Amino acid sequence: MVKAIVGANWGDEGKGKITDMLAREADIIVRFQGGSNAGHTIINEYGKFALHLLPSGVFYKHTTNVIGNGVALNIPYLMKEIQSLAERGVPMPKIKISDRTQILMPYHILFDQYEEERLGGKSFGSTKAGIAPFYSDKYAKIGFQVSELFDTEGLKNKIAGICEMKNVILEHLYHKPAINPDELFHTLMEYRSMVEPYLCDVSALLQDAIKEGRNILFEGQLGSLKDPDFGIYPMVTSSSTLAAYSAIGAGIPPYEIKNIVAVVKAYSSAVGAGEFVTEIFGDEADELRKRGGDAGEFGATTGRPRRMGWFDAVASRYGCRMQGATEAALTVLDVLGYLDAIPVCVGYEIDGVVSKNFPVTVKLKKAKPVYEYLPGWKQDIRGIKSYNDLPKDCRNYIEFIEKELQVPITLVSNGPGRDEIIRRN
Ligand code: GDP
């Protein structure tokens, strides 16, 4: 059975925790898009980890962890991440990397920095991990597949051609040092020896696993609203964050994805710039951020303070719909226990008209939230294990959100730990 776990919001919904938890029942965990530009926070018996490139199944001995062809593969970064697990006593996980994955080159990171510098205040708030330059090159057909590392003659020629072009931009647009083709070749040869032990034909591996009836878990990064097509363009990421893309980013038939779990946060948060209709500011935001602790304060990768807001049913329903969610996991509900009344955005007012549909970015800029206020439960719900033991007003909040999402909420997360989860049937 193939299952995907994806974000319905702006990212940081707590997908890492849900994936880590569901990975217990999985044979294979797969990353299919993005790179080291976002992270998953996982808390388990080994401690607290922020994973950026490794799939969230790496803590289990029985799982195979796969990096699909859709990922932006920063090879030295991945090696460091593997090493950091070993240093903290985690047994060496089984890792497979698609031989069709493209390499995030050292110059992608530089170009990302230089472009942010050039744009100054008008920048996209990039994480400077090289992700946008990487995907630009991939689709401009000047990227490097890991398989190309094994054709040294072809590689040398390709490097020469690409340096010629990149160096013009470096010199004349950014006024920065040129790339030396010999040094780049040498770096890539180092990358080759690092990555070689992990390479395989991932789509063949996965399609065989499907035939054998294995449980495969696809793990998305960020969320629906950061998708380049369906998100808040241009303040989006550079690869698709949707479950549908897992078929392409790892090489399986789309109809094999039977179950799509959209992770939905019980309030809103976002890292980086972009439209955010229910954003709150000042003391109200500081309080929620503080209560959110790790879940509220800083992005797992960027360390940037998160922007905070109330639950946005318009954006979350759209987020679930674009994911094709068959079920939803509601996370960080425990954080809201301090509020007397909890605002929930049930509509957007745009030019005097209230709508429940999530619009294109130019209209979104004008949207004002229409709130309904639900009674708070004024209680710490951490430690509660069964749904019926939750306070009535808390269940009411969950069921209200479920109705708005139009997707069954099957999991409720009431704390950051692996076991802090309530299953609902
Ligand atoms: P991801 O990118 O979607 O995996 O999200 P992150 O892991 O970056 O951010 C989620 C943060 O919330 C992490 O610090 C988690 O430990 C924390 N977290 C996840 N679920 C819960 C929850 O139910 N309650 C609380 N308090 N924190 C949670």
Do the Cβ atoms of 301 and 127 come closer than 8 Å? yes
Nearest ligand 1 atom to the CA of 41 is 7
Partner residues linked to 40 by β-bridges: 51
pLDDT at 32: 97
The answer to whether the CB of 103 falls within 8 A of the CB of 77 is no
CA–CA separation, 56 and 34 (whole Å): 14
Domain presence at residue 95: no
Tokens of 255: 């109809």
Residue 401's Cα: distance from chain center in Å? 22
Q: Which pair of structure tokens corresponds to residue 143? A: 């990227």
If one residue of 6, 13, 17 were mutated to test the ligand 1 pocket, choosing by the most ligand atoms within 8 A of its CB, it would be 17
Specify whether 264 is located in the same domain as 409: yes
pLDDT of residue 120: 85
Does the CB atom of residue 415 touch ligand 1 within 6 A?
Answer: yes
**In a domain? residue 126:** yes
What is the pLDDT, as a whole number, of residue 220? 95
Structure token digits, residue 371: 């709130």
Same domain, 46 and 77: yes
Residue 121: which domain range? Answer: 102-197
19 in Cβ contact with 274 (< 8 Å): no
The SS3 assignment for 369 reads strand
Residue 335 and residue 415 in one domain: yes
pLDDT recorded at residue 334: 97
Residue 187 resides in a domain: yes
Active centre residues (catalytic): 12, 40
Q: Tokens 């619009």 belong to which residue? A: 359
Q: Measured from the CB, is residue 332 less than 6 Å from ligand 1?
A: yes
- 63/140 same-domain check: no
- For residue 306, the model assigns a pLDDT of 87
Strands, E, within 100-197: which ranges? 102-103
Check whether residue 76 and residue 126 sit in a common domain.
Answer: no
Residue 248 sits in the same domain as residue 193: no
Per the structure, the count of domains in the chain is 2
Write out the E strands in 37-167.
40-44, 47-51, 64-67, 72-73, 94-98, 102-103
> What SS3 class is residue 88?
coil
State which of 136, 163, 197 marks the end of a domain: 197
Residue 28 has a pLDDT of: 98
Residue among 9, 41, 323 to mutate when testing ligand 1 (max atoms within 8 A of CB) = 41
Say whether both 237 and 379 belong to one domain: yes
- End residue of a domain, out of 197, 212, 228: 197
Q: Is 65 in the pocket of ligand 1 (CB under 6 A)?
A: no
Pairing of strands 40-44, 47-51: antiparallel
Question: In terms of domains, do 29 and 116 share one?
Answer: no
The whole-number pLDDT of residue 335 equals 97
**Ligand 1 atom having least distance to the Cα of 221:** 2
- Residue 308 pairs with which residues in a beta bridge? 269, 280
Q: Are 334 and 415 in contact (CB under 8 A)?
A: yes
Whether residue 97 lies inside any domain: the answer is no
Domain-embedded: residue 93: no
Same domain, 165 and 235: no
Residue 70 lies in a domain: yes
Per the domain annotation, does 405 fall within a domain?
A: yes
Among 150, 175, 197, residue at a domain's last position: 197
Instruction: Let me know whether 133 and 82 are in one domain.
Output: no
- What pLDDT was estimated at residue 299? 60
- Alpha carbon 46 to its chain's center: 23
What per-residue confidence (pLDDT) applies to 418? Answer: 84
The reply to whether ligand 1 has any atom less than 6 angstroms from the CB of 39 is: yes
> Is residue 44 domain-resident?
yes
Burial level of 423, CB count in 10 A (0-12/13-18/19+)? exposed
pLDDT tens for the 425 residues of the chain, in order: 999 999 999 998 999 889 988 999 999 999 999 999 877 788 888 988 888 999 989 999 999 999 999 999 999 999 999 999 999 999 999 999 999 999 999 999 999 999 989 988 777 767 789 999 999 999 999 999 999 999 999 999 999 999 999 999 999 999 999 999 999 999 999 999 999 999 999 999 999 999 999 999 999 999 999 999 999 999 999 999 999 999 999 999 999 999 999 999 999 999 888 999 999 999 999 999 999 887 766 665 666 678 999 999 999 999 999 999 999 999 999 999 999 999 999 999 999 999 999 999 999 999 999 999 999 999 999 999 999 999 999 999 999 999 999 999 999 999 998 889 999 97
Ligand 1 centroid to residue 330 C-alpha, Å:
11
**Domain harbouring 164, CATH code:** 1.10.300.10
Residue 144 shares a structural domain with residue 54: no
**Residue 419 three-state SS:** coil
Using a cut of 0.85, tell me whether the model's pTM lies above it: yes
- Asked if residue 83 and residue 111 are part of one domain, the reply reads no
Instruction: Tell me the CATH number at 243.
Output: 3.90.170.10
